[in-house]
Amino acid sequence: MSIEVRQLEKTYGDFSLSLDFSVSDGETLILAGPSGCGKTTALSLIAGLIQGDRGAITIDGKSVESAPPWKRNIAVVFQDLALFPHLDVGRNVTYGLFIRGIPKAVRRAAAAEKLKTVRLSGYERRRIQTLSGGEKQRAAIARALAQDPRALLLDEPFSSLDAPLRKELREEFLEIRKQSPVPCIFVTHDREEAAMLGDRIALMSQGSIAEIGKSRDLFLEPKTEFAARFFGFGQLLPCRILEGNDRAVAAETPLGRLRVRDISSLNPEKPLLFVPRDALGFEENGRHGTAVSGIIRKSLFQGERILSEVELQDKTLLAIEADPRMELPPEGSKVRLRVDESLIRFVQPTA
């Protein structure tokens, strides 16, 4: 099974959405991006809740863009759930089967099976009002799975929950996906959620996809300034190209002269470097390599790490992470930083 979205377009006044991507069987594609970039509109178009102006949507190779939502058999879980308050959990879960005229015994078995999948066994007769926030989310997912969908779409399903519960539900969601490996599109604002749940991430900006790729690559090896800023797993540094060929270039940077091998996203007019967090650190005694001096401006113990702000000679400020067991580096002290140039790459600057 797969979802294919080809040159799908929708315009609302000044806002234009234009999408082209596919999601394969068993894959979870994260749709991420700033508020208003069109994530919910994208899901609504695929589910058939709104009509596109042009373009094609195919599910398992069948064109569905003119089919009504109930004929697409795509399950949608929204942030605001829309569970029916007057029905118990079991009836909520099997509502879709009920309106399709599926016999009661089959519905009961389906409810028991899907409630077990979301760890709500025995909740069939509970009223919706008596469920906690996390239980309501699980019931909504069980309801989506019970219709045996050809694709699963989720719009920020965990965003109203507190952090520990969100973490728990994310882990459960990975288990649920193993049992229900249909193509899935999951909208989230949360970077950790995107990293953890997504096989790939499509990062949207103003109605189109700014960058799409494996989750790991968008965090560690982004191709665009936009993705580097959005996921924030490093810092951006301007530089000047000194010399180079098609395999590597030498660049003058605030970290000194660096040899950068990944030049696939080099923009010669505005060369911009992405320095992932793990490319910088305090130089350990006796270890040599590329290094640069700076002055500690601030150091904070954050439990899992020490985060320091280091000012370089040209006033560039760098965030440096260190082992939490290290002695807190005092403000104003001079430090040497190690630079792992093999992890540094160019990114395409935002126009």
Ligand X SMILES: Nc1ncnc2c1ncn2[C@@H]1O[C@H](COP(=O)(O)OP(=O)(O)OP(=O)(O)O)[C@@H](O)[C@H]1O
Q: Where on the chain is the footprint of ligand X (CB under 6 A)?
A: 12, 15, 33, 35-41
Q: How far is the CB of 253 from ligand X (least distance, A)?
A: 35
One-letter amino acid of 33: G
Give CA separation, 128 vs 77, 123, 135, 302, in Å.
16, 10, 9, 39
Pull the structure tokens for residue 211.
């960058």
Comparing CB distances to ligand X, the nearer of 35 and 285 is 35
Comparing CB distances to ligand X, the nearer of 11 and 342 is 11
C-alpha 225/C-alpha 235 separation (Å) is: 10
Comparing CB distances to ligand X, the nearer of 190 and 311 is 190
Q: How far is the CB of 14 from ligand X (least distance, A)?
A: 8
Comparing CB distances to ligand X, the nearer of 46 and 339 is 46
Question: What is the DSSP secondary-structure string of 180-249?
Answer: --S-EEEE-S-HHHHHHH-SEEEEEETTEEEEEEEHHHHHHS-SBHHHHHHH-SEEEEE-EEEEE-SS-E
Comparing CB distances to ligand X, the nearer of 185 and 239 is 185
C-alpha 139/C-alpha 122 separation (Å) is: 12
Q: How far is the CB of 8 from ligand X (least distance, A)?
A: 13
Give me the sign of the Cα torsion angle 225, 229, 232, 238.
positive
Q: How far is the CB of 155 from ligand X (least distance, A)?
A: 7
Q: How far is the CB of 35 from ligand X (least distance, A)?
A: 3
Length of the chain: 351
